[in-house]
Amino acid sequence: MRAFVKNLFKVELSLALILSISFLGLAIPYGFPLFSPLVLLLSINFYREGKLYFKLNLGSISFYVCIIFYILGMIYSGGIIYDQNKAEVNNIIIFAYWA
């Protein structure tokens, strides 16, 4: 069991786990409730171990600015979040995790 938990926090396996759970979440009508806590847990662990770092260049800065404006647009839309918005936020989290 200890070896499984140790291997779970390897970058390659965790990305595969996140991708497979995101596909599972898209197949379930109301989403998979453990996707966000899993991404948060793995991100905190990778940041604590020094494996998570942010590459900052013009492309990544413009990407994060676009994400901020997308989220602000969702906030100012009157609290209505459509299914397509949920899927796009899921894709943004996956892409930001890989980038």
How far, in Å, CA of 66 to CA of 70, rounded? 6
Q: Are 70 and 92 in contact (CB under 8 A)?
A: yes
User: What tokens appear for 66 in the block?
Assistant: 């676009």
CA-CA-CA-CA torsion sign (38, 43, 45, 46): positive
pLDDT 10s digits, 19-41: 777 777 777 767 667 777 777 77
What was the pLDDT predicted at 41? Answer: 79
The reported pTM is 0.45
What was the pLDDT predicted at 4? Answer: 65
Q: Are 46 and 82 in contact (CB under 8 A)?
A: no
Q: Which residues of the chain have pLDDT under 70?
A: 1-9, 11-12, 29, 31-32, 52-54, 97-99
User: What tokens appear for 23 in the block?
Assistant: 């596909």
